[in-house]
């Protein structure tokens, strides 16, 4: 899979820009604040349907303009796909092959990317929300039904929380929401468990390769729903979840929100058996984040039968270890890679002859 064409109209600091990309390596070079990251953000937007930098679409629209457009052509295993997003004050419109999609969940999944950015250190240093988002973005790109279940779960959770906040104590009424929440939540939990089970050996091996076997990296999913595992069925997990909701109902009423469920779950990260947040150095934390991202590439290939596009947002200069930089660059030999950088100094010896170089200055990209 690779992105062949990209068009931006009134997106961030871009007026109108059209690019033809190499199916191998593409490098966007320029000073900070010129629009390199904006271009990668637009590409990721076509895959994920959300910005990794802002939750507000208005931030994506160029100053004094009413609408931004991101349009791309993706060459995939089963033929080309044209993806288009129109973002404006009146909402967003999403198109696949010029057909408007009724829901964003129908748009996501036609294009897969793995984005590695400096902010990825928050995967390790940040709170549980960052790690849940990591799972949700990955599964959302490869398993459309996951987004369906997650959307239903989020909607039902909001309804239950509103009842709790308003002090509704009718057990039968709350139980009806508990039943729905437990079923949707069980699907979310089981898919997350299966995903991490597949990801773990790959991420572990990537870390071993980078650290030359000096350290052992591991992780596990920690759920607020007790005794869940990949060996259980959806019905089994839903039953466990419903029981946990019933047990915590009085606490939830006192707190005014739901205290148990996949919206409260986390991934625990370990290095040599010790908690990463407490014991790992900054360099070790960065290597863990890199290992998780590179493991995503293999997971996506196993899920859909083709490699995603790798987006590297000004991170190669951060990888001061030669093995880490070489490991990332080696991925470009099998996946389309799009890199942003302020200098070609650390890339000049690694780039192949078919790499395409772009200069970025004041929202204008030239080759």
The answer to whether 336 is annotated as binding is: no
Nearby residues of 221 by Cβ (< 8 Å), 6 or more positions away:
192, 193, 196, 265, 266, 267, 268
- Same domain for 300 and 242? yes
Sheet containing 91-96: order of strands: 16-20, 2-9, 67-76, 79-88, 91-96, 99-100
Q: Is 259 annotated as a binding residue?
A: no
Q: What is the pLDDT of residue 278?
A: 87
112 marked as binding residue: no
Q: What are the φ/ψ torsions at residue 55 (nearest 5 degrees)?
A: -95, -5
pLDDT value at residue 316: 75
Residues 186 and 215 in one domain: yes
Asked whether 219 and 193 are in contact (CB, 8 A), the reply is no
Same domain assignment for residues 151 and 229: yes
Partners of 23 in the beta sheet? none
Counting the structural domains of the chain, the total is: 2
Looking at the structure, do residues 29 and 152 belong to the same domain, yes or no?
Answer: no
Phi, psi of 337 (to 5 degrees): -125, 130
The span from the CA of 359 to the CA of 34, in Å, is 10
Whether residue 271 contacts residue 288, with contact meaning beta carbons closer than 8 Å, is answered with yes
3-state secondary structure of 180: helix
Q: Specify whether 166 is located in the same domain as 223.
A: yes
**Residue 349, pLDDT score:** 65
Please provide residue 128's backbone torsions phi and psi, each rounded to the nearest 5 degrees: -55, -30
User: End of a domain among 254, 277, 304?
Assistant: 304
Where is the domain boundary, 253, 283, 304?
304
- What does the pLDDT read at residue 355? 84
Check residue 321 and give its pLDDT. Answer: 66
Question: Do 157 and 173 lie in a common domain?
Answer: yes
What pLDDT is recorded for position 334?
87
Q: Let me know whether 294 and 312 are in one domain.
A: no
| 260, 245 Cβ separation under 8 angstroms | yes
- Tell me if 180 is assigned to a ligand binding site: no
Tokens 């997971």 map to which residue? Answer: 299
Q: Which H, E and C letters describe 83-115, residue by residue?
A: EEEEEECCEEEEEECCEECCCHHHHCCCCCEEE
Which residue, 324, 200, 188, is CA-closest to 269? 200
Rounded distance, CA 45 to CA 91, Å? 15
Domain that holds residue 289: 120-304
165 and 289 fall within a common domain: yes
**Is there a binding annotation on residue 256?**
no
Tokens 């595992």, located at residue: 229
Strand partners, 7: 18, 71
Total-model pTM: 0.90
Note the pLDDT of residue 325. 74
Residue 103 is assigned to a ligand binding site: no
In this structure, are 130 and 63 located in the same domain? no
Provide the CA 52 distance to its chain's centre, in angstroms: 8
CATH number at residue 169: 1.20.1050.90
Q: Report the candidate in 226, 235, 231 with the shortest Cα–Cα distance to residue 260.
A: 226
Distance CA 246, CA 281 (A): 41
pLDDT in tens, the chain (367 residues): 999 999 999 999 999 999 999 999 999 999 999 999 999 999 999 999 999 899 899 999 999 999 999 999 999 998 999 999 999 988 899 999 999 999 999 999 999 999 998 888 899 999 999 999 999 999 999 998 999 999 999 999 999 999 999 988 888 899 999 999 999 999 999 999 999 999 999 999 999 988 888 899 999 999 999 999 999 999 999 999 999 999 999 999 999 999 999 999 999 999 999 999 888 888 899 899 999 999 999 999 999 999 999 999 988 777 766 776 777 777 778 899 999 998 887 676 667 677 899 999 999 999 8
Do 187 and 258 belong to one domain?
A: yes
Domain termination residue (choose one: 286, 304, 322): 304
Which CATH number goes with the domain that contains 53? Answer: 3.40.50.300
Rounded (10°) angle between helices 128-142 and 144-165: 140
| Same domain membership, residue 132 and residue 91 | no
The reply to whether 96 and 124 lie within a common domain is: no
Q: What is the pLDDT of residue 98?
A: 96
Q: What is the pLDDT of residue 209?
A: 87
């Amino acid at each position: 899979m690779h992105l062949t064409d990209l068009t931006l109209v009134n997106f961030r600091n871009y007026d109108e820009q059209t690019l033809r990309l190499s199916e191998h390596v593409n490098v966007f070079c320029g000073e900070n604040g010129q629009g390199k990251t904006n271009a990668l953000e637009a590409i990721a937007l076509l895959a994920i349907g959300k910005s990794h930098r802002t939750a507000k679409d208005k931030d994506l629209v160029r100053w004094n303009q009413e609408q931004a457009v991101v349009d791309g052509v993706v060459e995939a295993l089963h033929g080309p796909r044209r993806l288009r997003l129109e973002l404006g004050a009146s909402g967003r419109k999403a198109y696949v092959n010029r057909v408007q999609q009724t829901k964003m969940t129908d748009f996501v999944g036609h294009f897969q990317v793995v984005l590695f950015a400096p902010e990825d250190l928050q995967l390790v240093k940040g709170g549980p929300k960052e790690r849940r988002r990591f799972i949700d973005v990955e599964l959302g790109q490869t398993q459309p039904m996951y987004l369906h279940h997650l959307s239903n779960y989020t909607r039902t959770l909001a309804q239950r929380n509103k009842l709790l906040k308003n002090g509704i104590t009718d057990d039968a009424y709350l139980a009806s929401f508990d039943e729905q929440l437990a079923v949707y939540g069980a699907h979310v939990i089981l898919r997350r468990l299966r995903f991490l089970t597949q990801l773990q050996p790959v991420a572990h091996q990537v870390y071993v390769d980078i650290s030359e076997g000096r350290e052992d990296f591991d992780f596990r999913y920690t759920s607020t729903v007790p005794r869940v595992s990949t060996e259980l069925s959806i019905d089994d997990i839903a039953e466990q979840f419903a029981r946990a909701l019933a047990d915590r109902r009085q606490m939830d009423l006192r707190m005014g929100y739901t205290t148990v469920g996949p919206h409260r779950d986390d991934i625990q990260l370990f290095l040599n058996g010790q908690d990463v947040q407490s014991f790992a150095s900054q360099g070790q934390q960065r290597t863990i984040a890199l290992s998780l991202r590179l493991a995503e590439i293999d997971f996506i290939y196993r899920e859909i039968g083709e490699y995603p596009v790798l987006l590297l947002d000004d991170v190669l200069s951060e990888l001061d270890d030669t093995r880490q930089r070489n490991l990332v660059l080696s991925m470009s030999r099998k996946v389309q890679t799009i890199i942003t950088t302020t200098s070609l100094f650390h890339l000049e010896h690694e780039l192949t002859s078919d790499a395409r170089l772009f200069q970025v200055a004041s929202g204008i990209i030239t080759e």
